[in-house]
Structure 1
Amino acid sequence: MRTHQKAMTSMSVVAVAMMVMNVVTYGFNLVAARMLVPAEFGALTALLSLILMANVVALALQAAIARRISVAPQHTLSIIHTASRVSLALALAVGAAGAATTVVLTPAFDFSSMWSVIFCGAMIVPLTLTGALMGVAQGTARWKRLSVLFVGNGFGRLLGGVGGLLVDASATSAMAGLAIGAWLPVLLGAGLLKSDADEDPHSRRPLVFETVTSAATLLAYFAFSNVDALVARGGFEPHDSGLYASGLILTKSTLFLPQFVSVVFFPSLARDSSHRTRLRAAGLVAVLGLAVVAGTALLPDLALILVGGEQYEEIAGDLWLFAVSGTFLAIVYLLVFDALARREGGVAILVWVAAAIVFAVAYFNRIDIVGLVTTMAVTSAVLAAVLLVWPLLKASPAQADLGVSEPASD
């Protein structure tokens, strides 16, 4: 009973922290939308999309460190020792690579200054280090410290970004401020990556390999979860594209709402070979998502206010479909992290196939808003079902009967 109460308290603390982070981050977007002219705000949105894609390395590093500590807590100090060096090397490498892309991305996206992309690269460095810090806090179940990092991440973006905009109302200045503000969670997490343990330098390779493969899987997920947005942008008339973008606000909200579940359950997913934890976590995500679907169906006018107001009234009756899509995407998100926790192979391929299916259905058919969101929801549901049974399909018959899978080897 005490363990259950502790788990519920941990989930509550992390859930509130992630909610604060998302609200504060959304607040920065609102401020930027009002302080920047449309052209500059469009440039900033594109730059933040680049950051989102590059951040898969930070998420992968967080998952790899948390998993290793969870399955081998007796080696925590050694794992932290190795992680501190790997995270710094990866942060500098990914940051430098991101900054170097300015030669290509500045003319390709018509950015007003090459410095905007360079500042993107600079921001990736603290974001990657933050991922490592979060991995240590998550793996050692230091939920309050992890919550502080989440809140610091949000306020760092708000204070740094707004500070940059106050200096100069431009996307470049905003990115400079964001790059500085991204160091706030690193400062708040100081000490988490310190260890007096000695570690063989050759042991860094498995952590790097796991991070790279996890990043590839997460990249596949982000591609899948955004494929319908790209299809709508390129295949719909501007008006319908705007309507679909409005509906996607609800999809993303439904997707982000239960993400704290994957954060809190991740260490247990890494240790539990019986699949019970995975089913419990997936069930909790499904319940939260269905609550949003029911609320949207019963209160469409309220949901309409949250996605943009009366100018998007045409889509009010279909908003519940976007909530359904977000619910299944949230379940897929959890199961992707479950695969990372168990080191299950082949998941990235499954997700890429799902993305290709959505694109092919939309490309070869004259599809409308309802058709596209339904395609996304159905494909996400099928993908979730496949991922749910995937570990059982890969297990031997004897293991499948027992409900266990082979332990992942490092």
Structure 2
Amino acid sequence: MSAPVPPPSRPSTAVSAGGRIAVAMTVQNVGAYAFNLVAARLLVPSSFGALTALLGVILVANVGSLAVQTTTARRIAVSPGSAERVAATATVVALGLGAAVGGVLAALSPFIADILRLDSAWPVVLCGIAVVPLTLMGALAGIAQGQHRWTSLSAVYVASGVGRIVFGTAAMLISPTPTAAVAGVMVGAWLPILLCGRLLRAGGVVGARPYVWEVLAGSHAMLAYLVLSNLDALLARVVLDPHDSGLYGAGLILTKAALFLPQFVSIVAFPRLARARADRARRLATLAVAIVGACATAATAALSGLALVLVGGDQYAEVQPLLWLFALEGSLLALVQLLVFDALARRSHVIVALLWVASAVAAAVILTLPLHVAGVVTTMVVTAAVVAVVAWALSARTRE
């Protein structure tokens, strides 16, 4: 018999849920940020560079986890009575997908290690192993999200952040190497499973094939968004000199912060977006993300001196006049992310083509024009703004 599923959240409940998820996601992101700070202290620069690249590998491999989460949450939201069956399917598919992606990484580990100039392939293998619990975490989060179990979802996010900083730091204290750091990340990734694994289900898998296809489509969408939102981080190192590249990297700290700030809105709104008539939910969610982004951008412009301290201090003073642009970029990318989730909730994949085209155009502009820091970030701001407007128009049209 299926577990009872709470009814759709009322506005006051949604605000309360948003507050809890915001705090939990803050803990998760602070844990990841603190892990990077500790790693920068404990590892020599060359090892820290290798670890940064390995974390990038995990980030790309983790798109499957995000797709499992959105697919699971959508299916439970539109059919609450099938929550137990969806949870069972999500558990099996997440385990299989995680093992498959991890196996591919392990098989390609010598090649990837050579590209990343690593001394050993073992860190890449450990990245592959870490994908298994990370994908299971996607199933956990999707089950909790679809059933409006905000306390359980908060626990998943908190455990994720705590696991990374605690086990990652412990591993680096034992052995200050990229291999040990990734091993700590891998062990810490199991903490959400240990604490919240009761949400997972075994047996009773029905209709796995449509679920798998939806996960694959979702993975494609999340990969397209990942490419767009990280495009300038990669290309800045290609087109800018080392000094300007460092300035750009400092500015991107604010971009990521502005992108993170309203993410809780997308998480809480997603189950409502998945229902047939969700125009009001989409408008309110978009308004909320836009308000948070506008406040972040305005605060950065007004308090640019404080913002400069947050991104590294006086050694990055040259980028201070542009910091508000980096905050605006992150705010616009947050809007795009919400609209990607809205498209996944409606099972509309037109936005994927839009994301790839936008990435290609932005890359062409950045690579062919003689741009400096201001030119690159302005290109990304314009690109994100155009994508947000077009995606909104597409969403409004498909809901008519």
Under a length normalisation based on structure 2, what TM-score does the superposition of the two structures give? 0.96
**Aligned counterpart, 1:401:** none
Q: Tell me how far apart the structure 2 counterparts of residues 286 and 50 of structure 1 sit (CA, whole Å).
A: 31
Are 1:338 and 2:345 an aligned pair? no
CA apart distance, 1:229? 1.4
Q: CA RMSD in A?
A: 1.2
Q: Tell me how far apart the structure 1 counterparts of residues 251 and 90 of structure 2 sit (CA, whole Å).
A: 40
Quick one: which of 155, 168, 171 aligns to 1:148?
A: 155
Identity of aligned residues (%): 48
**Aligned counterpart, 2:175:** 168
Quick one: which of 249, 252, 269 aligns to 2:253?
A: 249
| Aligned partner of residue 148 in structure 2, secondary structure | coil
Q: Give the counterpart letter for 1:38 in structure 2.
A: P
**Aligned counterpart, 1:231:** 235
Are 1:114 and 2:121 an aligned pair? yes
Task: Give unmatched runs, 5+ long, in structure 1.
Answer: 396-403, 406-410
CA apart distance, 1:272? 4.4
| Aligned partner of residue 189 in structure 1, secondary structure | helix
Deviations 1:214-248 (A, max 9, x none): 00010000101111112211001111111011101
Q: Give the counterpart letter for 1:85 in structure 2.
A: V
Q: Tell me how far apart the structure 2 counterparts of residues 199 and 114 of structure 1 sit (CA, whole Å).
A: 36
**Aligned counterpart, 1:193:** 200
Q: Tell me how far apart the structure 2 counterparts of residues 199 and 172 of structure 1 sit (CA, whole Å).
A: 37
CA apart distance, 1:119? 0.4
Preserved contact between residue 87 and residue 139 of structure 2 (Cα < 8 Å): no
Preserved contact between residue 78 and residue 195 of structure 1 (Cα < 8 Å): no
**Aligned counterpart, 2:4:** none
CA apart distance, 1:274? 4.3
Q: Give the counterpart letter for 1:369 in structure 2.
A: V
| Aligned partner of residue 197 in structure 2, secondary structure | coil
Q: Tell me how far apart the structure 2 counterparts of residues 81 and 24 of structure 1 sit (CA, whole Å).
A: 30
CA apart distance, 1:195? 5.8
**Aligned counterpart, 2:140:** 133
CA apart distance, 1:392? 3.4
Are 1:351 and 2:358 an aligned pair? no
Deviations 1:123-159 (A, max 9, x none): 1110000000100000000000000000000011111
Are 1:317 and 2:321 an aligned pair? yes
**Aligned counterpart, 1:276:** 280
Structure 1 stretches of 4+ moved >6 Å: none
**Aligned counterpart, 1:376:** 380
Quick one: which of 3, 11, 14 aligns to 2:21?
A: 14
Q: Tell me how far apart the structure 2 counterparts of residues 28 and 257 of structure 1 sit (CA, whole Å).
A: 19
In structure 2, relative to structure 1, the CA distance for the partners of 1:148 and 1:174 (3 Å cut) is same
Preserved contact between residue 160 and residue 182 of structure 1 (Cα < 8 Å): no
CA apart distance, 1:194? 2.2
Quick one: which of 58, 61, 76 aligns to 1:54?
A: 61
Q: Tell me how far apart the structure 2 counterparts of residues 153 and 100 of structure 1 sit (CA, whole Å).
A: 27
**Aligned counterpart, 1:262:** 266
Q: Tell me how far apart the structure 2 counterparts of residues 25 and 107 of structure 1 sit (CA, whole Å).
A: 26
In structure 2, relative to structure 1, the CA distance for the partners of 1:266 and 1:108 (3 Å cut) is same
Preserved contact between residue 286 and residue 335 of structure 2 (Cα < 8 Å): yes
Q: Give the counterpart letter for 2:60 in structure 1.
A: M
Quick one: which of 31, 44, 66 aligns to 1:24?
A: 31
CA apart distance, 1:80? 1.4
Task: Give unmatched runs, 5+ long, in structure 2.
Answer: 1-8
**Aligned counterpart, 1:399:** none
CA apart distance, 1:85? 1.4
Aligned residue pairs total 392
Preserved contact between residue 221 and residue 349 of structure 2 (Cα < 8 Å): no
**Aligned counterpart, 1:218:** 222
Preserved contact between residue 272 and residue 278 of structure 2 (Cα < 8 Å): no
Q: Give the counterpart letter for 1:255 in structure 2.
A: L
Alignment of 1:291-310 (within 5 A): 291-310=295-314
Preserved contact between residue 130 and residue 187 of structure 2 (Cα < 8 Å): yes
Q: Give the counterpart letter for 1:230 in structure 2.
A: L
Deviations 1:184-226 (A, max 9, x none): 0011111101267x344xx100111000110001000010111
Under a length normalisation based on structure 1, what TM-score does the superposition of the two structures give? 0.94
Preserved contact between residue 343 and residue 351 of structure 2 (Cα < 8 Å): yes
**Aligned counterpart, 1:99:** 106
Quick one: which of 81, 88, 99 aligns to 1:74?
A: 81
**Aligned counterpart, 2:49:** 42
Q: Tell me how far apart the structure 2 counterparts of residues 58 and 101 of structure 1 sit (CA, whole Å).
A: 20
